[in-house]
Amino acid sequence: MRVYRLGCLEGQMSMLVFHALAKMGREGLILVSPVRKIVSIGYFQDTDKVVDLEYCRKCEISVMRREIGGGATLLDGNQVFFQLVVRRDNPDFSRKISSLYELIAGPCVDTYRELGVHADFRPVNDIVTREGRKVSGLGGADIGECVAFVGNVILDFDSREMANILRVPSEKFRDKVHKSLEDNVSSVLKETGTTPCRKQVEDLLIENFAKRLGLLQEVCIDPELDEKVCELEKKMMSDDFLFRKRGKAASGGDYMKVKIAEGTQVSERSYKAPGGLITVTYIVRRDTIQDISISGDFTLYPKDHLSDIEDALLGVRRDVSSIESVISGAYREFSIESPGVAPLDFAEAICKSD
């Protein structure tokens, strides 16, 4: 199989080459990093619903849609991306997507371990540390006659910038996203205290992919491939493609959710109780509340005990019965009164149906 070791390219080019290969029906492995930041939007997302376009324009960060699903993500030069394109009719590769995810995950896991990070594949598509911090997210899709899979080795991670590029309903929500990213996403630097050179990472990836794919031949982009990339750039960077709608908005109104990693999400929900509007912003990991803020136009007395309710909810399973029980206990302990708002209302605000 051919391997395209492309170094650092303009942001969109770092994503376009594998699309071009797939549409041409060519197989290959690509290693690349964007020289400038770019936001990559999942195929099924509504761009203006998930990305803070004003912030991206102000910071001159390009935004593009990829033909692979998943969420919006920030690509930058502190990540080495690997992109594998295989033909669907190639008998050497499984037709099961789960098996192909395992195939592409293996070289990434091995590379992280050789860099000093104990990593494992966590189905469906995450590479995580022993403690469960995400260090790579894998994605795949059928493009033309091929299947394309992408992943990355994160040398360093700018969690603040990642939080900044997302469109969120409030700055409080953005702070929760940032905190959750800090807690749940990691990098080689964060895990080991050092940053390896790009060549070392690429050498390891090639070596580890070769163990599974066989001999890899390094090649350059040829004129035909370059022409296809230029053709796709016009389409994939156009407003028509970037802002095409995918049915109902993924977020908006009184509900917002951002998936951080498998099993971890930040949510903001509003709920109208008889005594006022309750807004809850929280982090849930494996259906357990990790962090929460409560606000709204309700009345609570004594007002200083709202933080005690928040503290009591940490570590509680996100279900109505458990949350109502815990908040009722806080009401009794601190003699809390909230006209028109009961513990059940807070529980409904946190747990109401998506």
CATH of the domain at 297: 3.30.390.50
279 shares a domain with 174: no
Residues facing 270 on adjacent strands: 279
Strand (E) or helix (H) holding 62: strand 62-65
Tell me the average pLDDT across 208-234.
97
214 shares a domain with 185: yes
267 shares a domain with 199: no
Which strands sit side by side in the sheet containing 288-296, from one edge to the other? 255-261, 264-273, 276-285, 288-296
Please report the pLDDT score of residue 79 as a whole number: 98
Q: Judge whether 253 lies within some domain.
A: no
DSSP class of residue 131 equals T
Instruction: Output the CA–CA distances (angstroms, integers) from residue 303 to 102, 106, 309, 334, in the order listed.
Output: 52, 53, 11, 11
- Identify the CA nearest to 282 among candidates 331, 321, 336, 323: 323
68 vs 236: CA distance, rounded Å: 12
pLDDT interval class at 255 (50, 70, 90): low
Tell me the average pLDDT across 262-290.
90
Long-range contacts of 8-12 (CB under 8 A, 24+ apart): 8/32, 8/33, 8/34, 8/35, 8/77, 9/33, 9/34, 9/35, 10/34, 10/35, 10/36, 11/35, 11/36, 11/37, 11/38, 11/62, 11/64, 11/75, 12/38, 12/62, 12/64, 12/233, 12/236, 12/237
268 shares a domain with 128: no
Q: Judge whether 15 lies within some domain.
A: yes
Torsions phi, psi for 267 (to 5 deg): -130, 150
- Identify the CA nearest to 197 among candidates 1, 8, 332, 344: 8
CATH of the domain at 102: 3.30.930.10
DSSP class of residue 305 equals G
Q: Judge whether 121 lies within some domain.
A: yes
Q: Judge whether 251 lies within some domain.
A: no
Q: Judge whether 14 lies within some domain.
A: yes
Q: Judge whether 152 lies within some domain.
A: yes
Condensed to tens digits (0 to 9), the pLDDT of residues 277-324 reads 898 999 999 999 999 999 888 888 888 899 999 999 999 999 999 999
268 shares a domain with 209: no
Please answer whether residues 151 and 139 qualify as being in contact, where contact means their C-beta atoms are separated by less than 8 angstroms: yes
What residues contact residue 46 under an 8 Å CB cut-off, 6+ apart?
Answer: 243, 245, 246, 249, 250
Domain stops at, among 182, 208, 242 = 242
41 vs 239: CA distance, rounded Å: 13
Higher pLDDT, 302 or 53: 53
Q: Judge whether 146 lies within some domain.
A: yes
137 vs 125: CA distance, rounded Å: 6
Higher pLDDT, 280 or 251: 280
Condensed to tens digits (0 to 9), the pLDDT of residues 225-248 reads 999 999 999 999 999 999 986 443
Tell me the average pLDDT across 133-144.
91
195 vs 181: CA distance, rounded Å: 20
Containing domain of residue 299, as a range? 263-351
What residues contact residue 353 under an 8 Å CB cut-off, 6+ apart?
Answer: none
Higher pLDDT, 257 or 171: 171
pLDDT > 50? residue 45? yes
Please report the pLDDT score of residue 247 as a whole number: 41
What's the total number of domains in the chain? 2
192 vs 96: CA distance, rounded Å: 35
234 shares a domain with 324: no
Please answer whether residues 44 and 69 qualify as being in contact, where contact means their C-beta atoms are separated by less than 8 angstroms: yes
Q: In percent, how much of the chain has pLDDT > 90?
A: 75
332 shares a domain with 210: no
Please report the pLDDT score of residue 337 as a whole number: 86
Condensed to tens digits (0 to 9), the pLDDT of residues 58-84 reads 999 999 999 988 789 999 999 999 999
173 shares a domain with 139: yes
Instruction: Output the CA–CA distances (angstroms, integers) from residue 209 to 105, 117, 157, 255, 322, in the order listed.
Output: 10, 18, 24, 42, 47
205 shares a domain with 288: no
pLDDT interval class at 254 (50, 70, 90): low
Please report the pLDDT score of residue 249 as a whole number: 36
84 shares a domain with 174: yes
Q: Judge whether 254 lies within some domain.
A: no
Domain stops at, among 242, 274, 290 = 242
Condensed to tens digits (0 to 9), the pLDDT of residues 182-199 reads 999 999 999 999 999 999
pLDDT interval class at 139 (50, 70, 90): confident
- Identify the CA nearest to 18 among candidates 123, 151, 136: 151
163 shares a domain with 73: yes
What residues contact residue 131 under an 8 Å CB cut-off, 6+ apart?
Answer: none
Tell me the average pLDDT across 51-60.
97
337 shares a domain with 227: no
Higher pLDDT, 124 or 61: 61
